Amino acid sequence: MGTGLELNDVQGNILNGYGFGHAVHLLLHGETPAAVQQCLGELGGRVTTAARWPEGECPRATLNVAISYHGFERMGLRRPLLDRFPEAFRVRTRERAPDLGDVGPSGPEYWDEHLGSGAVHLVLSASARERDDLAEARRQLREEIGAIPGLGVVAEQETHALPHRREHFGYADGFSQPDVEGVDRPSSHRAPEDSGVGVPLPDGGWRPVRLGEFLLGHLDEDGRVDSEPDPDLVGNGTYVVYRKLEQDVRLFRDVLAEAARRTGLPEELVAAKVMGRWRDGTPLATQPARSDPGQLDDVATDQPGNDFRYLPDDREGHRCPLGAHVRRVNPRDALDFGGAVRSSGRLTARHRIIRRGMPYEDPPGPDGDARRGLLFVCYNADIARQFETIQAHWCNDGDTFGLGDDRDWFIGGAGGSGKMTIPTRDGRPRFVEVHPDLVVTRGTEYLFAPGMRALRGLAEGAFG
């Protein structure tokens, strides 16, 4: 392998999203190697691939599967293979929690019991356009799982899209995704070379990110092919970060109002400054001011812009603050160290992720409050270099951007309060407080979504 993309060997939803608004994740525990293998054997044939659906043949429901390190262990994978998985994948996420800022209210002692404990071996994910179809897919899956001796469901997580692609704080979400080499984007998107979602080139153009950043067994941005621990096992597969992030919507409204009062800026502008996009998705980079920001609540712009860079015009962050969420998590061309690095986009290209999260709302707890948030799901070839770097170094800290101890306003509250800076043209920067309770982690699982051939091999015990 190394070149060429066989879409029918890659699981679906990774390279292109299904665009379905309802999904359920079944978190499974297997008592024996046979239980896990039997599950892969019986369901493996139904797993949805990345192959294009023929015109008019969109399935009612999709099915995908991902395996945790403990799942591989339970399946009886050979020890030398297990040992050569990357450390981030092998260690329980509960143990990695402090490094990711999951402390205080985000600490593992408050996580959903089963998450990150090693109890989850497989995650089956079904999604559908219609709620009824999802319910049917779920019922059928549960029946099949129930018939496999030694296999049990430890938890279920439903997620449902909100109207106009909003997440719970009211921002349109989920449209800036990396443009990936060799992957056709749906025709609704503009041509990849000018869409601003790949790698910014010094000449002003863009190119797609190398496939190896998202699928193992392919050339990555460093010109290498990662096939550890075994090309047949990991080729065309990807690592999955499954992270349950609870959002406190009431607190969000309060702290936004408070920030507007303290900074003297309109509330909707503060909301845009901390995110880097207006709530309807329009980027601050292309539209730094608005005459009527009051109308942003109900619709997402049809095609939120992505074709922008931060340099040279916005080096100071007067349009989009250096510490705004979208500028931190994808700095595009901005990491040029004051002009010292010409092809600055290449650095960012090593830290991209494909996001497929969806909002969730769990039934009310004992206090009667429904718990809601974002079930953040992302795909990457190297969890430590991609997802964890973004979270730990780019969001929980400001050094990379010359921002000292400033944090990401949404997800950087680790270990106490801090601030975020909004630079302004009138010379006086404004400061907003970062609240550790705004978004709290309720658990993390690191998984691997193998290619289709590897799934068959696993079901047959080929790597034991």
Interface contacts to ligand HEM, rule CB under 6 A:
167, 169, 171, 173-176, 245, 247, 275, 277, 325-326, 329-330, 353, 355, 374, 376, 387, 390-391, 410-411, 439
Binding of residue 431 to another protein (CB under 8 A): yes
Q: How many CB atoms neighbour CB 393 within 10 A? A: 14
Please say whether the beta carbons of 416 and 422 come within 8 A.
no
DSSP label at 60? S
**Residue 193 vs 228, nearer CB to another protein:** 228
> Using alpha carbons only, how large is the chain's radius of gyration in Å?
22
Binding of residue 430 to another protein (CB under 8 A): yes
Residue 150: is it exposed, middle or buried by C-beta count within 10 angstroms (0-12/13-18/19+)? middle
How far apart CA 395 and CA 325 sit, in angstroms, is: 8
Binding partner selected for residue 169 from another protein, ligand HEM, none, CB under the kind-specific 5 to 8 Å limit: ligand HEM
Please say whether the beta carbons of 148 and 49 come within 8 A.
no
How far apart CA 320 and CA 171 sit, in angstroms, is: 16
Binding partner selected for residue 419 from another protein, ligand HEM, none, CB under the kind-specific 5 to 8 Å limit: another protein
DSSP label at 159? E
Binding of residue 337 to another protein (CB under 8 A): no
**Residue 216 vs 296, nearer CB to another protein:** 216
Binding partner selected for residue 262 from another protein, ligand HEM, none, CB under the kind-specific 5 to 8 Å limit: another protein
Binding partner selected for residue 261 from another protein, ligand HEM, none, CB under the kind-specific 5 to 8 Å limit: another protein
Task: Write out the two tokens for 256.
Answer: 């936004």
The DSSP string of 265-308 is S-HHHHHHHHHSB-TTS-BTTT----S-GGGGSS---SS-----
Binding partner selected for residue 61 from ligand HEM, another protein, none, CB under the kind-specific 5 to 8 Å limit: none
Give the CB-side neighbour count of residue 269, counting CA atoms within 13 A.
18
Kindly write out the interface string for residues 366-405 of this chain, putting x where it contacts another protein by CB under 8 A and - elsewhere: --------------------------------------xx
Q: How far is the CB of 359 from ligand HEM (least distance, A)?
A: 9
Task: Write out the two tokens for 295.
Answer: 């109308």
Q: How far is the CB of 369 from ligand HEM (least distance, A)?
A: 17
How far apart CA 11 and CA 456 sit, in angstroms, is: 13
Q: How far is the CB of 255 from another protein (least distance, A)?
A: 11
How far apart CA 155 and CA 29 sit, in angstroms, is: 9
Binding partner selected for residue 439 from another protein, ligand HEM, none, CB under the kind-specific 5 to 8 Å limit: ligand HEM
How far apart CA 372 and CA 246 sit, in angstroms, is: 6
DSSP label at 351? T
Binding partner selected for residue 173 from ligand HEM, another protein, none, CB under the kind-specific 5 to 8 Å limit: ligand HEM
**Residue 95 vs 307, nearer CB to another protein:** 95
Binding partner selected for residue 75 from ligand HEM, another protein, none, CB under the kind-specific 5 to 8 Å limit: none
Q: How far is the CB of 110 from another protein (least distance, A)?
A: 17
How far apart CA 221 and CA 386 sit, in angstroms, is: 12
Piece in contact with another protein (CB under 8 A), picked from 30-38, 259-267, 334-342, 438-446: 259-267
How far apart CA 194 and CA 206 sit, in angstroms, is: 6
Judged by CB under 8 A, which of 104, 433, 437, 461 binds another protein? 433
Catalogue the E-assigned strands of 348-412. 354-355, 358-362, 371-380
**Residue 66 vs 77, nearer CB to ligand HEM:** 66
Q: How far is the CB of 417 from another protein (least distance, A)?
A: 8
Binding partner selected for residue 405 from ligand HEM, another protein, none, CB under the kind-specific 5 to 8 Å limit: another protein
Single-letter amino acid code for the residue at 215: L
Report 210-229 residues binding another protein (CB under 8 A).
224, 226, 228
Binding site for another protein (CB under 8 A): 84, 95, 224, 226, 228, 261-264, 404-405, 418-419, 430-433
